[in-house]
Amino acid sequence: MPYHVHFNGEKVVPIDEKQTILQASLAAGIPHYHACGGKGECTTCRVLVLQGQEQLTPPTSYERAIKNVKKFPDNVRLACQSFVQGEGVEVRRLIRDETDRYIFIDSNEESTKTVMGERRKLALFFIDIRSFTPFIESNLPFDVIHIMRRIFALFQNAITQYGGEIIDTAGDGLYAVYGLNSSIKKATEAAVLTGLKILADLRIFNNTYMRPYFNHTFEVGIGVHVGKVIVGNVGIGLSNNLTVMGFPVNIAARLQACTKELNNSFVISAIAYRLLRNPPYAVSCSYLNLKGVSNAYEVMLIGKPYENNAEKPLPDTRLS
């Protein structure tokens, strides 16, 4: 008994129980990419299942192997490995022209972190360097870049140690996410441990390097929040970076920006703080009026007050 498959935006095609979705689409004249010849050895025939996922046969061993490597969500299937067992199936071809092929295949075929677009609950970590402008204005370009690299290496080491993924850097700050491969509780704990390690490592860096050689010390502002966000790869042939979007990202960024106003180096939302098994001591609880949020936002201060060394030059203790 023949069934039908609705190719979104294209046509409805008949399909026999012994035909794969790929075979049916090709028979109906749809130019369906299948670089490996429909043998389950590539992903060019992949489709997004919009409806009727329960009417498809389970993934074959070939498909499971590829999906495990590529981390495809359950509703992305290989057309060459999928058979239809009933009506109501609607799919969308993901690679429909050469541009799609470049985005989905050529630009990230080597990446094992490809995410096609999904909603995930993640821990969001923002950090920004304080008092960097005075340092820029009073030091040589080489020294500025050298110190920037040292500090960002310090950030990266801590983030990597606790399983974070750096999403973006901008000027003297960056943001990272936690929870791509762990529960939200573990992700939140990892984000907090990262922040505390950075604060401790930065104190050592200031005392052993910045103060003796440059008569300057740095401070940072850290903001952590949790929430459901959209995650996906949009990089095209460059770094193929993950992109994380959504209102919780804006909240985390604003918490980081509020560290100066609150005079505390580490601000975490109360929502995230309550997920911690062994939360660090909170200096105080505060309520912020954030743009786009109707009620005052509860946050916890778990860092240290700023020393304001940008406004007050340190005594000259540089090594002679």
Determine which of 40-44, 249-253, 271-275 has the lowest per-residue pLDDT on average.
Answer: 40-44
pTM check: above 0.85: no
Residue 112's pLDDT is 45
Percent of the chain with pLDDT over 90: 63
Residue 98's pLDDT is 61
If you average pLDDT over residues 33-56, what whole number do you get?
Answer: 91
Residue 110's pLDDT is 43
pLDDT digits (tens, 9 = 90+) for 107-158: 454 444 555 578 899 999 999 999 888 999 998 888 898 899 899 999 999 9
Residue 277's pLDDT is 94
Establish whether domains 3-106 and 118-301 are of one fold: no
Mean pLDDT of the chain: 87
The residue extents of the domains of the chain are 3-106, 118-301
Fold classification of 3-106 (topology level): Ubiquitin-like (UB roll) (3.10.20)
Say how far apart CA 303 and CA 197 lie, in whole Å.
Answer: 11
- Domain at 118-301: CATH code: 3.30.70.1230
Residue 39's pLDDT is 87
Checking if the pLDDT of 255 tops 70, the result is: yes
pLDDT digits (tens, 9 = 90+) for 73-107: 889 999 999 999 999 999 999 887 665 565 555 54
